[in-house]
């Protein structure tokens, strides 16, 4: 399921197995948490690596929901802007990328962005 969700849905899904016992005793849960909390937080922090931004209308300034954000050379993995804020997130390793935002009824826009280190770069689009 993880491969399917990553490739076709853009989800970063994991199955976390901490023990060979399917249903451990409640008394063991705190120990599992303490043993793994740092790794879990580091995994969650990955959302802050790559690019983020808001997709809006160039003519009205209104947010654009469900705009497609693609990265040249990374085809097959599209993220979309959300309906509430027009915001998107795309995890990327350090490097320089050509990023395109597109939505039916609007002119698409492509921008170059350089991602460095462990930072998130803000890349807004006005279509």
Q: Point out the residues that are catalytic.
A: 17
**What span, in angstroms and rounded, lies between the C-alpha atoms of 83 and 50?**
21
Q: What does the chain come to in residues?
A: 127
Q: Report residue 54: phi and psi, to 5°.
A: -120, 140
Q: Name the 3-class secondary structure at 96.
A: strand
SS3 59: coil
């Amino acid at each position: 399921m993880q491969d399917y969700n990553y490739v076709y849905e853009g989800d970063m899904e994991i199955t976390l197995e901490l023990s060979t016992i399917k249903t451990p005793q409640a008394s063991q849960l705190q120990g599992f948490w303490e043993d793994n909390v740092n790794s879990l937080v580091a995994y969650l922090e990955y959302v802050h690596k790559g690019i983020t931004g808001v997709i809006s209308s160039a003519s009205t300034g209104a947010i654009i929901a469900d705009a497609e954000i693609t990265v040249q050379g990374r085809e097959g993995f599209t993220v979309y802007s959300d309906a509430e804020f027009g915001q998107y997130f795309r995890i990327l390793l350090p490097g320089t990328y050509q990023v395109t935002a597109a939505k039916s009824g609007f002119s698409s826009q492509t921008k170059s962005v350089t991602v460095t280190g462990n930072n998130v770069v803000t890349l807004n689009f006005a279509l």
